[in-house]
C-alpha cells in the first residue's frame, strides 16, 4: 500500500520535504545594504532643499536691485565666501553697467576699479568668449598672492583689501545670453569644492533668467514713465501773484492720471487734474488726447469751467464711448484772488493757510462719459493771501491702502501738519504731504496707482 497523503493546506506543498535541521543562531547583525547610497541621497536632498530655498527667495524679488543683492548673498553662502562683487552689463545695449558689492564699501569698490579689467578673473568671465570653458564654469584663483604672474596693481589691491583667493562666475544662460558676472573673495587661500561649484552654477543660471526678466520689466517701466512725462507739462507757467509746484508718479503699468497748468488771457491761470480709466498704453494715449482737448477748450471758454467740462464730456462720449474719466478744472484770477472751479467725479481741492485747512465744498457729479449729458454747477471761492490750493488725484488716497473716508482724513491731517515756515513754499507743501501720506515713497513697485499733486500758492 502506498503511504497516505498529508492533507493539503494553503501555502504548503506536501510533496516538498521539510528540513529537520535548525538554522545557526544569528551572532552578528549585518550592516544595512546601501548605506553609502542612502548617505549620498540624503546629501543630494539637502543640497536640493537649500537650492530650492535660495531660488524661492530670489523669485520673490520684484526689483532689479533686490534681485542683485539676493544673488550676491546667496552665491556667497553657496561658495563659502564673505565678500563679493557683481557687475551687470548687457552687450549690445546703451544701458550703463551696474556694480554692486557685498561687504565692500565705496572706497573698496573704487580700489577694485583701478585694477585693469583683463587682469582680474571677473574681467575674464565678462570679456571672454561665451563658449570658453572658463566663461561657462567660472574661474577659481585659490592663491592670489602666491601667483607669480599676478598683476602688480591687483596684488596691491588684494593686499590692501585683505583677500587671498577668489572665484568668478558668469551670469549667463542659453536663453538670456551673458548679462554680467560675479566674483566672491576669500580671506584665506582656498576655492569652492566641486559640489559647491555645481550648486552655484545651477543657481547662477536660474538667476540670469530672473535678472533678464527684471531688466526687461524695468526698461519697459522706464519707457512708460518717459512717455507719461512727455505727455505732461515740461514746465509750469509763471503767473504774477501765484506760484506753482507739481509732483507726479506713473504706476508700473502706465496710467491715466494727469495735470495741467496753462496761462490764459487777462493774466488768468487754468489749473486741471484728471484721471482716465484703465492702465497701460491705451489709457496713456487717451490721457494725452483728453489733456490736449481740455487745453483747447480752456483757451476758448476757460472763465466758465462748466462749459469746459461739458465740451470735454461731449468729446469723450463721441470719440471714446467705452471710456470714463474724472476731471477738475479751475479758472484762477490771481490778482483778484478768485477761483472758479467745476469737477466731474473728481476729489475736492484742499485749501491750506495759516488760519484754515479745509476741503472746498464742490457739488456731487458723475465722471465724464457716464451720463448722456453732463453738467454740474461751478463753485467760487477766494483764497486769502498766503494760502495754498492743493489739487490731487485719487491715486494719492488709494496708495495709502485705507478706506476712502480714512484716506481723506489722513490727507487733511497731513496738510494741517505742514510747518508754518513751509506753508509759503508750494514745493515744500507738496513734499510734506507726500511724505506724510506715503512714508514708503512714491516709487513703491508694488503699487499700481498713479499719483498727481498740484499746488498753487497765492501771494
Q: How many CA atoms lie within 13 A of 318 on its CB side?
A: 7
pLDDT of residue 73: 95
Name the stretches of the chain with pLDDT < 50.
1-21, 26, 133
Q: Name the class of domain 61-224.
A: alpha beta
Fold classified for 233-458: Phosphatase 2c; domain 1 (3.60.40)
pTM (2 decimals)?
Answer: 0.65
Q: In the chain, list all ranges with CATH 3.30.450.40.
A: 61-224
**CATH 3.60.40.10 in the chain, residues?**
233-458
Amino acid 81: pLDDT: 94
- Residue 267 gets the label, from left (phi > 0), alpha (psi -120 to 50) or beta, of left
Distance CA 124, CA 129 (A): 9
Amino acid at each position: 500500500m502506498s503511504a497516505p497523503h498529508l492533507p493539503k493546506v494553503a501555502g504548503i506543498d506536501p510533496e516538498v520535504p521539510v528540513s529537520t535541521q535548525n538554522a545557526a543562531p544569528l551572532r552578528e547583525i549585518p550592516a544595512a545594504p546601501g548605506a553609502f547610497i542612502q548617505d549620498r541621497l540624503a546629501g543630494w536632498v539637502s543640497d536640493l532643499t537649500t537650492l530650492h530655498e535660495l531660488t524661492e527667495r530670489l523669485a520673490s524679488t520684484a526689483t532689479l536691485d533686490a534681485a542683485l543683492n539676493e544673488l550676491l548673498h546667496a552665491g556667497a553662502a553657496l561658495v563659502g565666501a564673505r565678500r563679493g562683487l557683481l557687475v551687470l552689463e548687457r552687450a549690445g545695449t546703451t544701458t550703463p553697467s551696474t556694480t554692486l558689492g557685498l561687504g565692500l564699501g565705496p572706497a573698496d569698490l573704487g580700489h577694485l576699479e583701478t585694477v585693469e579689467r583683463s587682469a582680474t578673473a571677473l574681467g575674464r568671465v565678462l570679456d571672454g568668449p561665451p563658449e570658453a570653458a572658463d566663461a561657462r564654469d567660472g574661474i577659481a584663483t585659490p592663491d592670489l598672492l602666491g601667483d607669480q604672474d599676478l598683476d602688480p596693481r591687483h596684488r596691491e589691491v588684494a593686499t590692501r583689501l585683505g583677500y587671498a583667493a577668489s572665484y568668478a562666475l558668469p551670469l549667463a544662460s542659453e536663453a538670456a545670453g551673458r548679462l554680467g558676472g560675479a566674483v566672491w573673495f576669500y580671506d584665506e587661500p582656498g576655492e569652492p569644492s566641486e559640489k559647491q561649484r555645481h550648486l552655484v552654477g545651477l543657481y547662477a543660471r536660474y538667476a540670469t533668467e530672473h535678472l533678464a526678466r527684471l531688466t526687461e520689466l524695468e526698461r519697459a517701466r522706464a519707457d512708460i514713465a518717459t512717455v507719461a512725462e512727455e505727455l505732461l507739462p515740461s514746465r509750469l507757467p509763471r503767473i504774477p501773484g501765484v506760484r506753482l509746484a507739481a509732483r507726479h508718479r506713473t504706476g508700473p503699468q502706465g496710467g491715466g492720471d494727469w495735470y495741467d497748468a496753462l496761462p490764459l488771457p487777462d493774466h488768468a491761470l487754468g489749473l486741471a487734474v484728471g484721471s482716465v480709466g484703465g492702465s497701460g498704453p491705451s489709457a496713456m494715449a487717451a490721457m494725452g488726447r483728453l489733456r490736449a482737448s481740455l487745453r483747447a477748450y480752456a483757451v476758448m471758454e476757460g472763465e466758465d469751467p462748466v462749459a469746459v467740462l461739458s465740451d470735454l464730456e461731449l468729446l469723450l462720449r463721441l470719440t471714446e464711448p467705452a471710456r470714463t474719466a474724472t476731471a477738475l478744472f479751475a479758472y484762477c484770477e490771481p490778482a483778484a484772488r478768485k477761483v472758479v472751479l467745476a469737477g466731474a467725479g473728481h476729489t475736492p481741492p484742499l485749501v491750506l493757510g495759516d488760519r484754515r485747512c479745509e476741503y472746498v465744498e464742490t457739488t456731487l457729479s458723475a465722471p465724464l462719459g457716464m451720463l448722456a449729458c453732463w453738467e454740474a454747477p461751478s463753485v467760487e471761492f477766494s483764497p486769502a493771501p498766503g494760502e495754498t490750493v492743493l489739487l490731487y488725484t485719487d491715486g494719492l488716497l488709494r496708495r495709502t491702502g485705507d478706506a476712502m473716508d480714512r484716506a481723506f482724513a489722513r490727507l487733511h491731517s497731513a496738510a494741517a501738519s505742514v510747518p508754518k515756515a513751509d506753508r509759503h513754499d508750494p514745493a515744500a507743501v507738496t513734499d510734506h504731504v507726500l511724505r506724510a501720506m506715503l512714508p514708503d515713497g512714491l516709487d513703491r513697485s508694488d503699487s499700481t496707482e498713479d499719483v498727481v499733486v498740484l499746488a498753487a500758492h497765492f501771494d
